[in-house]
Chains A and B, each alone.
Chain A
């Protein structure tokens, strides 16, 4: 496999990760927190109406988790395609 091909594969995989993670990002914040919030408010978690909880708490926790998943995936990907900086 040539170097060129390797890099194309890396970038494709990166874009794939991005689209999955950003879909989750969109669904949780704009979906659960805004568009579906009135409907989700029919359900409760403890004292929280669910839509309200996603809007003011849940989405923020999910944002943090998404970034760390991305860091994990990318570090693994860097290793796999040999573009990680340690070897430089």
Chain B
């Protein structure tokens, strides 16, 4: 059977499973819809959190990105795991004790202010919408590549599935589908990794494999070999990278703190019965996440070595079949600059922009070596190879010559990762509207049933909006990660931490801090990423901090502003101080 048939089978089975779970776990009350009645087992919640957290980006793009960034990929590896330590130690147990439904709930009650609540709702909505658009796009991409379905229909199918279990089941449905999705995605991620590690290093465990010697008989360590290949081709050593140390530092802080401040992650810890469960649940979540995150850098090294060894300085005519398959999808291309028929791989971009294939009618135009011809302007450097980072995970099974079902499994895993994250985000959007806005601000006497109906309507509208952005991604969709994490780091995190650990923090301080952090961070990111992308070079950055890392600075501004403004206003009322006192102790 070929990859496509296998993909239909595996994707079909997993989708049937998700729908089955959705029907079994319909939500009947707002408590079920928002937090699964707070009755989720901590281990189950850990697994669901892992799926909630690991998105299409973690599954499909991260290993590929690291593969091209080498040491610099550390920012993602540490940044997207280290935040869980902050969550476990500084946030989860206290927010569980607080015991309401949402993050804006905490901000609003703790700072005794509906304005603060509204600011928090706006942040939650911006963060979640930017993030969810990327997931829908991921769903569309997997469909279009593996099943040859149009991206449009891919997104529509993805929307229909998410719609079904998020709108029906709310948090309860999402939790149990996420558990299934975690199992699918981790299996799909690990299987090719085992195979390739075995092939390259003789060790089946990728975490050990990429620190072992290669099996070609040279007795050389894999990483030394890769460093050597890099140096020969003119790249920086794989294990040292090219970003400045302060930029690596700041990006890592922004991603860690941002992770700990993302509402769809925080809200998962409202679903367990006790404070004690919230603590251990973060631990379980991080174990499940770490399995993927410690494997990704190994895959990055394997894929990078395989790629260089297969293509560099080799005649185009001797390329394996996958090369032309991916060429035809415009994710891989070779421009024979010196017309020698040999693929020269070197630092720098080979062409301007992404490949634009020239077609004569329906046929792709072929060059002298039968390569796919593109209309892009070529650059002046020696590099002749264009590689899209995303294909490193998608094409890995083919590059390593693994059986067809492994490639199909990767497709099902990518879908699981994208759908599980999308569902978690949609829930945050829906609760923000039905609970934080409608219930808390506009109609306090609303019945539980009516609130639940609004929650479902909001979820349904959010699915459609997310789908629209998935089909028509705004030009800046690639930058959303910086925005989402930067905003979470600069707004929620400091406000929550001060709310728990500084009893005397008042609403004026917290509000001023959140708004200052938010505006500063947004302005910096929009300036460099959207308004003037041509100025986005290290020489122009403040203190050498890229827009990805600026959330760290925004967080510091938030803290400084909050603490200074605080001193001009009275302490919070007694009952609020008592509440803060109360959340510090499990009982």
Binding site for B on A (CB under 8 A): 7, 10-11, 14, 18, 21-22, 25, 29-30, 33-35, 37-38, 41, 45-49, 52-53, 55-57, 59-61, 63-64, 66-68, 70-71, 74-75, 78, 83-85, 87-88
Contacts and interface: CB of A to CB of B under 8 A. Distances in A.
A-B complex: 4 closest residue pairs judged by Cβ atoms = A47-B221, A55-B74, A67-B283, A47-B211
Most chain-A CB neighbours within 10 Å: which of B84, B283, B287, B297?
B283
23 contacts: A7-B584, A25-B82, A34-B74, A34-B245, A34-B248, A46-B212, A48-B211, A48-B223, A49-B239, A56-B66, A57-B297, A59-B81, A60-B78, A60-B81, A63-B84, A63-B85, A63-B286, A64-B283, A67-B283, A68-B283, A70-B279, A74-B279, A83-B587
Contact of B249 (A30, A45, A61): A30
Contacts of A48: 211, 223
Interface in B77-121: 77-78, 81-82, 84-85, 88-90, 93
B586 A45 contact: no
A54 to B, nearest CB: 9
Contacts of A74: 93, 276, 279
B290 interface: yes
Most chain-A CB neighbours within 10 Å: which of B84, B253, B286, B586?
B586
Interface residues of B, number: 48
A47 B222 CA distance: 7
A85 B211 contact: no
Interface string B184-209: 00000000000000000000000100
A18 B91 CA distance: 12
Contacts of B88: 67, 70-71
Contact of B279 (A7, A71, A88): A71
B71 A55 contact: yes
A47 B239 contact: no
A34 B290 CA distance: 19
Contacts of A45: 211
Nearest to A17: B89
B77 A60 contact: yes
B210 interface: yes
Interface in B554-587: 581, 584-587
A21 B66 CA distance: 28
B293 interface: yes
Given A30-B253, A60-B81, 17 more contacts: A10-B585, A11-B584, A34-B248, A47-B212, A47-B213, A47-B224, A53-B211, A55-B71, A55-B78, A63-B286, A64-B283, A64-B287, A67-B283, A70-B88, A71-B283, A85-B276, A88-B587
Contacts of A37: 71
Nearest to A18: B89
B509 interface: no
B546 to A, nearest CB: 15
A14 B71 CA distance: 35
A7 B586 CA distance: 11
Contacts of B239: 41, 49, 52
Contacts of B240: 38, 41, 52
B154 interface: no
B58 interface: no
A13 to B, nearest CB: 12
B297 A67 contact: no
B74 A57 contact: no
A59 B82 contact: yes
Given A60-B290, A78-B586, A33 B280 contact: no
B78 to A, nearest CB: 5
Given A70-B89, A85-B275, A29 B211 contact: no
Interface string B301-314: 00000000000000
Given A34-B245, A66-B85, A57 B207 contact: yes
A4 to B, nearest CB: 10
Interface string B234-245: 000001100001
Contacts of A78: 276, 586-587
Contacts of A60: 77-78, 81, 290, 293-294
Given A53-B211, A56-B297, A63 B81 contact: yes
Contacts of A11: 584-585
Contacts of B71: 37, 52, 55-56
Interface in B255-302: 274-276, 279-280, 282-283, 286-287, 290, 293-294, 297
Contacts of B78: 29, 33, 55, 59-60
A63 B84 CA distance: 8
Contacts of B584: 7, 11, 14
Nearest to A48: B211
B128 interface: no
